[in-house]
A and B are shown apart, each in its own frame.
Chain A
């Protein structure tokens, strides 16, 4: 992990949040802050609710209870437009638009929201692609590039409007260890150079230890957050069986 020190100012705050979908609560009483400039990981096994929490954070689903604020504002009909400008999201599949080239995908948010002129927008999009080391893939279609490249284009698109927080959903999923490590390096470099905050949903431990300043861990069986802190501190100091098992240092239910 690099030596960038996040500020103490919270950019995302969850207070006693009840997470899930109408009629189906998945997690209760979730409380934590994400600090500005931090790389924060949401950890847990499959189906534990970490992607559900992410969907609440990015305003796709409303929280069932409690309070969630992003840059001091809750997601409402009135705040949606301004909050959308403050976030960038990289989805698990990349979610690039298949009918557009990589450059057009990155250009899209700039065309819709930026006041830059046509030439400046194009230059900015190319610069973003260069940031993720994909300048030479500008004119290629998403179907012609690899999974790792798609994710990098998606990161470039997510950063197009210089958001305050970039959310990454399973960035390492489906990638080989070398590509995954390269993506981790990219995230660290972007944080160092741009000072952005990252929230990463993952269950890849090497990635967590490589990039995350802090993490929150969720347990499906208990339906709540069970740990919060620096990954190494949790690995070495937690007495919770599930946390120890997750980090490969303990037992769960005696197994």
Chain B
């Protein structure tokens, strides 16, 4: 009985959450479409502030992790490739791995942890302090006022952070190969031969998508933060967990699409 009760409650909760998420998504799309006709209503100042926090303040950690990722990947792959005397192909592996997959995904994880949770906490605190109600009763839709600037900032910050993290990863890889007596110029030649414009553009487009997901999920979690003492913490946790799941799922779907269409 307890089991069926628990399953039933979970299903009801899932349905309610799904409905709330769809309502939030619909509201955001409508608000975004509304800006096409009234672009002056977009809060550029708030978006710039959110971009500064997401991109500039998140830069050291994204670049640092990108660099370490490059170093680790280079060491791990070089160990195997050295056995065949082809450690120079570490450069190809790094270029493909970083530009297509790891650059966007690692940066998205950093953004989810730093900015997604911050969006949820900021908006959650505003909800607890009745600031969302204040906006609503002033006739200002909280979605236009709070969500769109943050989502736009996350979408713009992601490609910037991604490309810098990828470059840092390549620098890390180049340093490792230098230790293995592979000249840097050879490393860069391999990278530029392997990395196509499409590959880089596809990675950056994917990073924009991840930015959109992190922004939406973070802001959505904040908007639905419970009005309890631990409400803001709950919202921040939901934002990070939800973002990570969404990043993994969307990346998996994109991998399938790329495979089917031979991209």
* Chains A and B come from one and the same complex: yes
Q: Does B57 contact A (CB under 8 A)?
A: no
Q: Give CA–CA (A92, B129) in the complex, Å.
A: 9
Please tell me which stretch of B60-68, B70-78, B130-138 contacts chain A, meaning at least 4 of its Cβ atoms lie within 8 angstroms of it: B130-138
Q: In this assembly, does B140 line the interface, its C-beta being within 8 Å of a C-beta of chain A?
A: yes
Contact B139 A84 (CB under 8 A): yes
Closest-CB distance, B174 to chain A (whole angstroms): 42
Contact of B138 among A93, A96, A108 (CB under 8 A): A108
A109 is an interface residue with CB less than 8 A from chain B: yes
Query: Which of chain A's residues have a CB closer than 8 A to the CB of B140?
Result: 108-109, 112
A95 touches B138 (CB 8 A): no
Q: Indicate the size class of the contact surface on chain A.
A: 20 to 34
| Distance of A84 Cα from B134 Cα, bound (Å) | 11
Decide: A60 and B138 in contact? CB cutoff 8 A: no
Residue of A nearest to B49 (CB): A99
Q: Which of B49, B131, B136 contacts A60 (CB 8 A)?
A: B136
Query: In the complex, which residues 23-65 of chain A have their Cβ closer than 8 Å to any Cβ of chain B?
Result: 58-60
**A205 → chain B closest CB, angstroms:** 25
Q: Which residues of A contact B134 (CB under 8 A)?
A: 89, 91, 95, 97
Q: Cβ of B133 and Cβ of A95 under 8 Å apart?
A: yes
Task: Return chain B residues, CB-CB under 8 Å to A91.
Answer: 130, 133-134
Asked if A221 is at the interface of the complex by the 8 Å CB criterion, the answer is no
Asked if B137 and A84 sit within 8 Å, CB to CB, the answer is yes
CA distance A91 to B49 in the complex (A): 27
- The distance from the CB of A20 to the nearest CB of chain B, in whole angstroms, is 16
Q: B137 to A89, Cβ gap below 8 A?
A: yes
Q: Quick check: A92 and B139 within 8 Å, CB to CB?
A: no
**Distance of A99 Cα from B131 Cα, bound (Å):** 12
Q: How near does chain B come to A53, taking the closest CB pair, in angstroms?
A: 15
| Minimal beta-carbon separation of B136 from chain A (angstroms) | 6
Instruction: Report the minimal beta-carbon distance from B52 to chain A, rounded to whole angstroms.
Output: 13
Q: Is the CB of B131 within 8 A of A95?
A: yes
Contact between chains at A97 and B131 (CB < 8 Å): yes
Q: Across the two chains, which residue of chain B brings its CB closest to A105?
A: B134
Name the one of A85, A95, A96 contacting B139, with C-beta atoms under 8 angstroms: A85
Contact partners of A113 in chain B: CB under 8 A: 139
> Are A60's CB and B139's CB within 8 A?
no
Residue pairs across A and B with Cβ atoms less than 8 A apart, 6 shown, are: A60-B133, A60-B137, A81-B139, A87-B137, A91-B130, A93-B130
Q: CB within 8 Å of A: which residues of B?
A: 49, 126, 129-131, 133-134, 136-140
Q: State the 6 A-B residue pairs at the shortest beta-carbon distance, nearest first.
A: A84-B139, A95-B134, A95-B130, A91-B130, A89-B137, A95-B131
Known: A59-B137, A97-B126, A97-B131. 13 other contacts (CB 8 A): A80-B139, A84-B138, A89-B133, A89-B137, A91-B130, A91-B133, A91-B134, A93-B129, A95-B129, A97-B134, A98-B129, A109-B140, A112-B140
